[in-house]
Structure 1
Amino acid sequence: MAINLQKGQRISLEKSNGSKLQSVCVGINWGAIEKKGLFGFGKTKEAVDLDASCALYNEQKQLTEVVYFGNLASKDGAVKHSGDDLTGDMGGDDGLDNEVITLDFSGLNPAVNYVAFVLNSFRGHDFGTIPFASIRIYEGTPKRVNEVFATYDIANGSNFGGHVSMVMGVFYKKNGEWKFNAIGEPTKDRKLEETVKTVTQSYL
């Protein structure tokens, strides 16, 4: 049963059968913006480019690397990005994730202590104008969902209107065990570098 995450909620990465999650996928699904045509006739779709990214930090909370559309895998290969989606769903919600970042805890460099997931609207489309945008954290692969354990809907959250950047959540290691902090907070940042700085200052 997926947890509809509340901000600030911390969860352990335990499956319903009690075993620990070895790898997770963070998937983002969103829609293109529908616009009325000239004089109200017809409708056009405006592509929306959201970018999911992942920042890795060591125990001292120092940034070690960022996985994003310009760097699709971490050096150790444990974090992989599915690639840049520039449009969102143009034909309505197909229920599939537009971008997926996969995180394999067993392959992660042992020096990594925090893995933060952030989302930025590349062309500056305000989250509040996007018809649907949802995030889910699940066990499986980019093509197959085994068990969803966290979801959040950002397009319908009133606090996301007027923002183009957010911190989705942070996986962190405590006593050798990985846990997840559901942050789900919009930030005032415009660019990925700024959002990563905000994570470093406020969310680790």
Structure 2
Amino acid sequence: MAISLQKGQRISLEKDNGSSLQKMCIGVNWGAIEKRGFFGRKKMEAVDLDASVGIFADNGQLLDVVYFGQLKSKCGSIVHSGDDLTGDMDGDDGLDNEVIQIDLNRLSPRASQLAFVLNSFRGHDFKDIPFARIRIYEGSPEYVSQEFARFDIANDAAFGGSVSMIMGKMYKHNGQWKFNSIGQPTRDAKLEQTLTTFARECA
């Protein structure tokens, strides 16, 4: 059964049989914004969020970035499914809008942290986005074999003015990979700025 994470919670990437999770997918899902049009009719406004991964070394140095403009890491260990431009237009369908595949065995030995961030391409405020979710599972972008953990973020007035979100990070501790659910909104308009904030405040 998948672990439902709370903000700030840390877990080891260990399966029920005691083996470590080495190949996984990080699925990211988010909702479109519901608005009222003429005569009170419901209208859905597309939300273009961009899920990205920053690969960091021990000293906080950014080694590589996987995002909609570079769908594969230089070491070949991380592959992005591509850009989703709308979010869930018909409400939460439970499916991922963007999926990031990770093979920790192929990751550069210099890498010690993976930062998972969301940026609003059109500048939508995170207080208006109904939900954002990140989940870790075994399988492929088309098929979920076993869901390992998920971290849900509901819209919150406290997010006002924030157009990006540091969802979480994977980090190596004593040779083992762990996951930390962060859920920190930022006002960074660009991916580069969000990753700089991560390195300064969350690495």
Q: Same fold (TM over 0.5)?
A: yes
- Distance in 2 separating the partners of 1:95 and 1:5: 17
- Distance in 2 separating the partners of 1:100 and 1:159: 27
One-letter amino acid of the counterpart of residue 78, structure 1: S
Residue equivalent to 2:14: 14
2:91 maps to 1:92: yes
Contact 1:154 / 1:160 at 8 angstroms: preserved in 2? no
One-letter amino acid of the counterpart of residue 151, structure 1: R
Give CA-to-partner distance per residue, 1:64-98, whole Å, 9 cap, x none.
Answer: 11100011010111111110001112222222100
Residue equivalent to 2:178: 179
Percent identity of the aligned residues? 64
Give CA-to-partner distance per residue, 1:24-61, whole Å, 9 cap, x none.
Answer: 21111122222222242x33221100110000012222
- Distance in 1 separating the partners of 2:82 and 2:29: 13
SS at match of 1:95: coil
Alignment TM-score, normalising by the size of structure 1: 0.92
Contact 1:35 / 1:45 at 8 angstroms: preserved in 2? yes
Residue equivalent to 1:27: 27
4+ residue stretches of structure 1 with deviation over 6 A? none
Residue equivalent to 1:132: 131
Residue equivalent to 1:142: 141
- Distance in 2 separating the partners of 1:186 and 1:132: 13
TM superposition shift of 1:192 = 1.1
- Distance in 1 separating the partners of 2:158 and 2:23: 30
Give CA-to-partner distance per residue, 1:124-165, whole Å, 9 cap, x none.
Answer: 111221233322122222122222222222234554344221
- Distance in 1 separating the partners of 2:57 and 2:157: 34
SS at match of 2:196: helix
One-letter amino acid of the counterpart of residue 187, structure 2: K
Q: Write the mapping of 1:63-142 to structure 2, written as runs, cut at 5 A.
A: 63-142=62-141
Contact 1:170 / 1:183 at 8 angstroms: preserved in 2? yes
TM superposition shift of 1:187 = 1.9
Gaps of 5+ in 1: none
Question: Matched residue pairs, number?
Answer: 203
CA RMSD in angstroms comes to 1.7
SS at match of 1:167: strand
One-letter amino acid of the counterpart of residue 95, structure 2: L
Residue equivalent to 1:45: 44
Contact 1:24 / 1:140 at 8 angstroms: preserved in 2? yes
SS at match of 1:127: coil
2:151 maps to 1:170: no
Alignment TM-score, normalising by the size of structure 2: 0.92
Contact 1:127 / 1:154 at 8 angstroms: preserved in 2? no
TM superposition shift of 1:2 = 2.0
- Distance in 2 separating the partners of 1:141 and 1:28: 13
One-letter amino acid of the counterpart of residue 89, structure 1: D
Alpha-carbon distance change, 29 to 57 in structure 1, aligned in 2, over 3 angstroms: same
